[in-house]
């Protein structure tokens, strides 16, 4: 005979178990893409002087890159397809790029 409290505890346990399995399966890849995005953002700050040789203004370069990343964000949060894992990893990469830009801004400001 099962009581309501027993069923509730079993449901809570199953939810926690599913969430931890999802976290353990997805954390390493997500962290790798976050680090890769961070590296990409830092390299962009380093290679910006090379891009300037083509005669483009820094504002156009950065605005076009931010526009592209925001477009990716729109795709990530709009998509309900089977490629959900791909979109989540792409979102981790995008967040890493923004984090790299943030750190580069502090390096430039100091």
Task: With a cut of 70, say whether residue 72 has pLDDT above it.
Answer: yes
73 in a domain, yes or no? yes
13 in a domain, yes or no? no
pLDDT in tens, 46-64: 887 787 777 667 778 778 8
Task: With a cut of 80, say whether residue 107 has pLDDT above it.
Answer: no
Tokens for 5? 């409290």
92 in a domain, yes or no? yes
pLDDT band at 36; cut points 50, 70, 90: very high
Phi/psi for 38 (5° steps) reads: -60, -45
8 in a domain, yes or no? no
C-alpha closest to that of 37 among 78, 82, 76: 76
Q: What is the pLDDT of residue 101?
A: 85
Tokens for 52? 């300037």
58 in a domain, yes or no? yes
How many domains does the chain fold into?
A: 1
* C-alpha to C-alpha distances, 9 to 6, 22, 102, nearest whole angstrom: 5, 20, 43
Q: What is the pLDDT of residue 46?
A: 80
66 in a domain, yes or no? yes
Kindly state the greatest CA–CA separation across the chain: 77
3 in a domain, yes or no? no
5 in a domain, yes or no? no
pLDDT in tens, 84-104: 778 888 888 888 988 988 888
Range of the domain at 84: 26-109
């Amino acid at each position: 005979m099962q009581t309501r409290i027993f069923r509730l505890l079993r449901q809570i346990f199953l939810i926690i178990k599913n969430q931890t399995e999802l976290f353990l399966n997805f954390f390493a890849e997500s962290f790798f893409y976050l680090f890769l995005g961070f590296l990409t953002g830092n390299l962009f700050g380093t290679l910006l002087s090379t891009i300037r040789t083509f005669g483009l203004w820094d504002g156009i370069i950065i605005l076009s890159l931010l526009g592209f990343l925001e477009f990716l964000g729109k795709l990530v949060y709009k998509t309900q397809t089977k490629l959900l894992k791909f979109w989540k990893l792409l979102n981790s990469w995008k967040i890493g790029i923004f984090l790299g830009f943030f750190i580069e801004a502090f390096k430039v400001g100091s």
